Amino acid sequence: MRALLVSELADDHRGCTLTDLAVSEPGPGEVRVRVRAAAVNFPDLLMTRGAYQLKPDLPFTPGLELAGEVDALGDGVTAWRVGDAVLGGNRFGAMAEYAIVPATALRAKPARLSWEEAAAYGVAYLTAWVALTRCGRVEPGEWVLVHGAAGGVGLATVDLAKALGARVIAAASSAEKRAALADLYAPDSVIAAEPGFRDAVKALTDGRGADVIFDPVGGDIFDESTRCIAFGGRLLVIGFASGRIPEVSVNMPLIKGFSVVGVRAGEYGRRFPERGAENIAAIDALAAEGKIRPHVHAALPLSDWREGFAMLERREVVGKVVLIP
């Protein structure tokens, strides 16, 4: 099978090569999946140079998310049959024609989704669901400010917030991304992610501020967000794409009555397995009903993996890039 192999940890993904490998057999409790599409995520890029917290033994194949067909079953697997259309994945291994995945890490692909959409869907929408419903407790009619709204998780959050009946302000860094956001999901407003955005948010919300703020950026964005959040608001910390981990003086949440809430969707599911299953069932139901629509920025052949990686690094992607083995 063809696979992207990381044989050396190096900058600029110099340790990555597209190569031919033997097709492995699934072990007990595992499934072999014929991969039809694999999403490209920032952790995949970081792992190729050893800059992510998970550091697989060399050599390894990157790729967190996939969609495809069950090709073979390991001993003890009864939940799946050969030919089933599935999505899911593992911590790595998706960027290949075949992948070995724990049976429990797969779920049925919603029929409405293409292979590409299904591969791009799971992590982003699960994060958005946990952020908005479990941590943000968003209510219909509330104002939700989404930073990094053109990224994979940000775009999913815009889409899901609209589906939940919220009023959405989408913030993005370029005019091209803002135009794409308006065209794809028609949020209530699209604003520039630049200093002074708090004035735009205050004007849109009649001076009240946003009830929920989704922040995967951190740094200056977080600092200014504390100045345009409503009393009783929820400021959701997703990550620190800016590179700076911000701090907040606790007198600000005291005076303004807002909460700062950390969001870790995977950890949430591990801590609360029943609720984790409910989260997955909820987003799959919305996808099956056509109420949410994952967006694929580009679908490239696996041989063009380097261009797919570069698209993310240039921060030009609206939604997700997927590779087709």
Please check the confidence at residue 1 and state whether its pLDDT lies above 90: yes
pLDDT tens for each residue of 196-223: 999 999 999 999 999 999 999 999 999 9
Nearest Cα to Cα of residue 237 among 213, 212, 215: 215
Q: Residue 72 — very low, low, confident or very high, per pLDDT cuts 50/70/90?
A: very high
The answer to the question of residue 159 being in a domain is yes
Beta bridge partners of 32: 72, 100
Whole-number pLDDT of residue 241: 84
Please check the confidence at residue 295 and state whether its pLDDT lies above 90: yes
Whole-number pLDDT of residue 309: 96
CATH of the domain at 71: 3.90.180.10
Domain hosting residue 299, numbered range: 2-121+294-324
Q: Residue 87 — very low, low, confident or very high, per pLDDT cuts 50/70/90?
A: very high
Cα–Cα distances in angstroms (integers) from residue 127 to residues 1, 38, 78, 122, 150, in the given order? 32, 18, 29, 9, 15
Q: Would you call 322 helix, strand, or coil by DSSP?
A: strand
Cis status of the peptide bond prior to 59, with omega within 30 of 0: yes
Co-location of 85 and 43 in the same domain:
yes
Residue 196 — φ and ψ, nearest 5°? 100, 0
Phi-psi region of 319 (alpha: psi -120 to 50; beta: other; left: phi over 0): left
Q: Which of 248, 264, 280 is a domain's end point?
A: 264
Q: Measured between alpha carbons, how far is 188 from 294 in angstroms, rounded to an integer? A: 19
Whole-number pLDDT of residue 242: 83
Type of residue found at 105: A
Give yes or no for a contact between 118 and 61, defined as CB atoms under 8 angstroms apart: no
Please check the confidence at residue 2 and state whether its pLDDT lies above 90: yes
Whole-number pLDDT of residue 266: 85
The answer to the question of residue 314 being in a domain is yes
Co-location of 54 and 91 in the same domain:
yes
Q: Residue 304 — very low, low, confident or very high, per pLDDT cuts 50/70/90?
A: very high
Cα–Cα distances in angstroms (integers) from residue 167 to residues 62, 145, 278, in the given order? 37, 9, 24
The answer to the question of residue 18 being in a domain is yes
Q: Which residues have C-beta within 8 Å of that of residue 34, sequence separation ≥ 6?
A: 68, 69, 70, 71, 97, 98
The answer to the question of residue 188 being in a domain is yes
Q: What is the mean pLDDT of residues 149-167?
A: 95
Q: Which of 264, 286, 306 is a domain's end point?
A: 264
The answer to the question of residue 269 being in a domain is no
Co-location of 48 and 17 in the same domain:
yes
Type of residue found at 17: T
Give the total number of structural domains in the chain: 2
CA angle 309, 23, 42 (to 5 degrees): 20
The answer to the question of residue 152 being in a domain is yes
Q: Residue 315 — very low, low, confident or very high, per pLDDT cuts 50/70/90?
A: confident
pLDDT tens for each residue of 238-280: 988 888 899 999 999 999 999 999 999 888 999 999 999 999 9
CATH of the domain at 161: 3.40.50.720
Beta bridge partners of 34: 69, 98
Q: Residue 237 — very low, low, confident or very high, per pLDDT cuts 50/70/90?
A: very high
Task: Tell me the pLDDT of the chain averaged across its residues.
Answer: 94
Class of residue 140 by CB neighbours under 10 A (exposed 0-12, middle 13-18, buried 19+): exposed
Whole-number pLDDT of residue 316: 87
Q: What is the mean pLDDT of residues 58-81?
A: 96
Co-location of 200 and 144 in the same domain:
yes
Rg of the chain (C-alpha set): 20
Co-location of 77 and 198 in the same domain:
no
Considering the chain, what percentage of its residues have pLDDT values greater than 70?
100
Co-location of 246 and 317 in the same domain:
no
Co-location of 14 and 52 in the same domain:
yes
Co-location of 225 and 147 in the same domain:
yes
Q: What is the mean pLDDT of residues 48-70?
A: 93
pTM over 0.85: yes
Q: Which of 224, 244, 264 is a domain's end point?
A: 264
Co-location of 90 and 208 in the same domain:
no
The answer to the question of residue 270 being in a domain is no
Q: Measured between alpha carbons, how far is 163 from 278 in angstroms, rounded to an integer? A: 17
Co-location of 167 and 224 in the same domain:
yes
Among the residues of 24-75, which ranges form H helices? Answer: 42-47
Whole-number pLDDT of residue 113: 95
The answer to the question of residue 169 being in a domain is yes
| E strand segments, the chain | 2-6, 16-20, 30-40, 65-73, 85-89, 98-102, 106-108, 143-146, 167-172, 189-192, 210-215, 229-237, 259-262, 296-301, 320-324
Co-location of 153 and 241 in the same domain:
yes
Co-location of 104 and 86 in the same domain:
yes
Q: Would you call 50 helix, strand, or coil by DSSP?
A: coil
